[in-house]
Structure 1
Amino acid sequence: MAGVSLKCGDCGALLKSVEEAQEHAELTSHSNFSESTEPVLNLLCTACSKPCRSKTESDLHTKRTGHTEFVDKTSEAAKPISLEVPKVSATPEDAATATTNQDEEMVVPEVDKKILEELESMGFSTTQATRALHYSGNAGLEAAVTWIVEHENDPDIDQMPLIPANTKVEAPKPSLTPEELRAKQQELRERARKKKEEEEKRTEREREKERIRIGKELLEAKRIEEENERKRILALRKAEKEEERRAREKIKQKLEEDKAERRRRLGLPPEEPSVAKPAPVVEEKKSFLPIRPATKAEQMRECLRSLKQNHKEDDARVKRAFQTLLTYVGNVARNPDEEKFRKIRLTNQSFQERVGALKGGIKFLEICGFEKIDGGEFLFLPRNKVEMAVLNSAGSELDSAIKNPFFGVL
């Protein structure tokens, strides 16, 4: 089956075309793309006709607008994808040149020699200067320089222009004096520099806005996904409880039938309903689900999240504390037999500044297995209590807290 989309190997996003893949690569720096037979989802809102390309996007649209009805148009919109890079359209000058009669003699247009020399003295090539003077109508030095600045990225900027031999060329305008030329050169350079700086600032602002928008959408998508997962788990537990209840009722009914059958075989009268024994209280206790104790990894994550929340006004200090804790845990994991890495003096000034003075720092080490000894002067991790799985979990949680810019925000 032919590919109908491009799939990003870094984040799993599906893209409709090569252009979308290029834009995605510029925004995310991802470069691993492959052809996929999975079509890009196309959910069309029946209320406002907005297309949504994923379930998460449709959930976001529903949250913002309240629209809940969507029509799946994926199969209609899917088509084989073209892997050819779109060609750059030809410039008007090239189009005009292509339409001219090829049998007609073509010559280099005549331009103002003095302005041509002035442009060459400014660093422009003869071809660029001739092209600029011709296409600016020999309007002067400023017009020629402006044309070069606007067309410096044209693919044919270094090609000599050609015109039919019988084409009439307007008489060139008088050139500037040396003083006027220097002033005009300085003015044009300054104008081109300011224009380029403004364009770079505008582009950077747009990219930053796009990064912020993508970050917010990723956070919202993650929240919606977690909420849907919680609802699924609750529904599953409810279904399991209902199934258990029906199974108990069925067993109870079967026991009552067996009991009645035995009384009938023994010739005893049926048992009066009023004599039936009340249901034991134990059954009510069984209806409650057991509470799963938090794992050490969850305790560590909550401890780090609490540490960041308690000191959110000093982000640099919190990050330094995370890095210090990662150093302690890493030293023990790499050298479990070295006692110096398993023993920390609590009164050490450096330790206090980096970890001890922050609420939650010492608690994290205690979760990792460290214990206070000598009247609380030292934190010590006995060799027989070193658990590599716990230390690896601690390292993973600290690494996530350091690298994830949104850790502890939600």
Structure 2
Amino acid sequence: MAKSYVCTKCNTFLKSVKELQDHAEVTGHSSFDESSVAIKTMVCTECGKPCRSDAERDLHTRHTGHSNYEDKTNEAGILNTERDMKEARTELLDMDGPTSAASTSAAREPGQDVEMVPAVVDESMLKEMEGMGFSAPRATRALHFSGNSSVEGAINWLDQHEADIDLDEPLLIPKESLKPKLSPEEARKKAEEAIRKAKEKREREEKEQERVRELERIRAGKEMLAMKAKADEADRKRAIEERQREKQEEQRAREKIKAKLEEDRRERRRQMGLPEELTEEEKRAEAEKVEKQRKEEEGKKVFTFVKPISVIDKVRKTLVDMKKASSASSAEEERFKTAVSTMLKYVGNVASQPDEEKFRNIKLSNAAFQQRVASLEGSLVVLEQAGFQRVDELLTMPREKVNVEVLNSVGGELNNALTNPFFGAL
């Protein structure tokens, strides 16, 4: 037996005769076949909505978040065409009203005034049945209740209702039940309107889903940033605690060494027959010795500089601009490499021998310097960023201004620009 109906024009599967009739009314299609394809019935266990296909189920899940469904496809059973047609006819009779005056008045509520009018059927099929010998009331009744679709259907209906006592009585139906039959053009427009509304609804759902996804992405991004900040704070605290432990261990080690030295000193004084504690004269001599050592260390004191991050950034930016400007030809690239390698030597000489004055002074008028370095725009900026100062026709770096950390950092950037093929590519 059939499990569904299918429209032969648009291949739409329909579950019952009622759906078939509604489809015919909307689209104007009138050719249908029975089908063995079962229409699914998946009921959402959370809200009770029935879904008749996997696509409809997936759309409902995306829109509501419901994911649990109960498959009731088999509970629908196999279609019974004869039973469905009978139920459809009964529904039609209930909608149109009883055929006799007595039954009409019985079905009507007290005080209700319903205007009854003759049923309207297809004139050509009515004339064809009258030509076959059927009376006008009988043919009208048969065409009306068979759906006004074909003469063959009307004749089949008469065969099934031959015993009806009111076959030859004029068929009157409530006026409000008359629905104007849609022309093919009207049916097409109505179908297009339904498709348009469905498309707009789908677009609204997709926009809403996109908005929800964007909000979720923003939320996840904020959570990741918060987690990263929390992890960085934890790492910072661990580093501080580790440094404190190192300082404490270092302090304990110094105290232990100091105690050991003091014990060794006392032992040596006992072996020499001297008192363990220093005399006042020895204490003064020891204090003078410590003060002398302190002054000597201050004279040799070299400042420790923090790694110059800002200077590195400026040098890197200047070198990147120089490399991009020199990428037009191979000759320009060679000029860039020559200038960078020469500056690397200048910086390296000062960093390795800061007391050597000749390395801390560069004559701007020197022909080799002009050809290898000064001719490339940006080179003098790099040297000034490294610590050189322009005084008349001289680039000089005073001894007290020598910062080895800066020079080493600049040298690293120069070497990177010279050897890294991807320097400045991003």
Query: What is the TM-score with the length of structure 2 in the denominator?
Result: 0.39
More helix by share: 2
